[in-house]
A and B are shown apart, each in its own frame.
Chain A
């Protein structure tokens, strides 16, 4: 049941202030987004239409703590089919960023490991200018599993066979096509100082 006195009428404005969230109020609840969504096919509870309606109503807490926020593929199918140009893919991304800010402020606990993954990914880009797969995994797995040892175990389980496959195909490691330790060592750009400036600016913009 919706308790009207618990609703946050400001929530829709909060979303609309985020880049990508601008067109929230254009939604007229036709459900085209949800009918065509490949995730809804697999996870029936997943319902972008409902997330939008709950946001419009101001159900801030329920929206931000919904675990389904984190299984969006960003595949843009909803965005492409929306007759109202709501830009649902970008809108959900805006909502996820609000959830992340709430978590940073200690107001919310996000169960999904996805923010950890995205952060670890971007840390390698900030540091080296390019994605560094191994650096990403070394940060992500221990954080997800809660300890270094558990992280290493989980990483091995997921990536031992994969890593060997890539090694023998010459895509990573000493047999690599571009150099002796391609993929093992990070590929670092020269202008990492510019990367630092970019990340600092983007972080400020998010505040």
Chain B
């Protein structure tokens, strides 16, 4: 394994609603012997709310520049942060004029394109690699999992690191840990509805319910995911969806880093598994 150190960009949800993902990411990389250096004084990537691409480029130039000054590739656990960091890196590398203009806003925004942005899932499977992970796995996950990818992992193609229609990186990890992937290809890349949660909750809830229902009828013990906004929608808001639609779902939703942490033998409490909104106790009983 070649990676020993990465710049870590936690993203805004890491401080509140996705604390569990943040904790488990840090624990997993510590166990794997990869040092994570938090991007000092990082700022928000603009998420989906910054519709002006120029704003996205300027906001993310700063984060990229901080990582670049430390000569470290930048890794994030959030799909939207990843998309914004990666498309900014691409735009600034390809457009010298834009790059110079952004540097002109403030010298701290000088990014020269020498480091790249990566998502946690990409780093785990493609950079650290399956062989290395396999050698460190000590527990078997005796569970059925619905691997849910959402957006920005396989699309758009400029920044994608997996297949747009049938992504497999999480499937591979789950198999490696002894888990079983339930048939889920119809739902894998459907948007969770998150971006409409605050303005059209009816549509957002409908989308999230479809994903959770499908996981349930496929016999999954849990849904695994790799993005804090998906986590917000499918886990943190699940009780609100149940109430609004007058249904029972009760589907545990966990981050892929939480599952990997269990397989690596890390204690559940250090993976934030007490913080997922839908109870994960039954799931933990199936880790042997």
Contact = CB atoms under 8 A, between A and B. Distances in A.
A176 B275 CA distance: 10
Interface in B92-142: 105-106, 108-109
Interface stretch (B218-226, B234-242, B245-253): B234-242
Q: Could you say which interface size class chain B belongs to? A: 35 or more
A170 B12 CA distance: 16
Interface string A53-76: 000000000000000001101111
A198 B59 contact: yes
Given A75-B151, A121-B47, A38 B207 contact: yes
Contacts, number: 166
Interface residues of A, number: 62
Interface stretch (A4-12, A23-31, A109-117, A145-153): A109-117
Interface string A153-184: 00000100110011001111000111000110
B155 interface: yes
Nearest to B48: A74
Nearest to A132: B12
The A interface is mostly helix, strand or loop, or mixed, namely: helix
Interface string B46-89: 11111111110011001000000000000000000000000000
A96 interface: yes
A179 to B, nearest CB: 9
Nearest to B243: A161
Interface of A: 19-20, 38-39, 42-43, 70-71, 73-77, 79-81, 87, 89-90, 93, 96-97, 112-114, 117-118, 121-122, 125, 129-131, 133, 140, 158, 161-162, 165-166, 169-172, 176-178, 182-183, 187, 189-191, 194-195, 197-199, 201-202, 205-206
Interface of B: 12-13, 15-17, 19-20, 23, 41-44, 46-55, 58-59, 62, 105-106, 108-109, 151-152, 154-157, 160, 164, 189-191, 193, 195-196, 198-201, 203, 206-207, 236-237, 239-240, 243, 272, 274-277
Contacts of A117: 49, 198-199
A114 B199 CA distance: 6
B156 A80 contact: yes
B275 A169 contact: yes
Given A70-B199, A194-B108, A205-B52, 5 more contacts: A73-B196, A77-B155, A129-B44, A165-B277, A201-B58
Contacts of A190: 41
A47 to B, nearest CB: 15
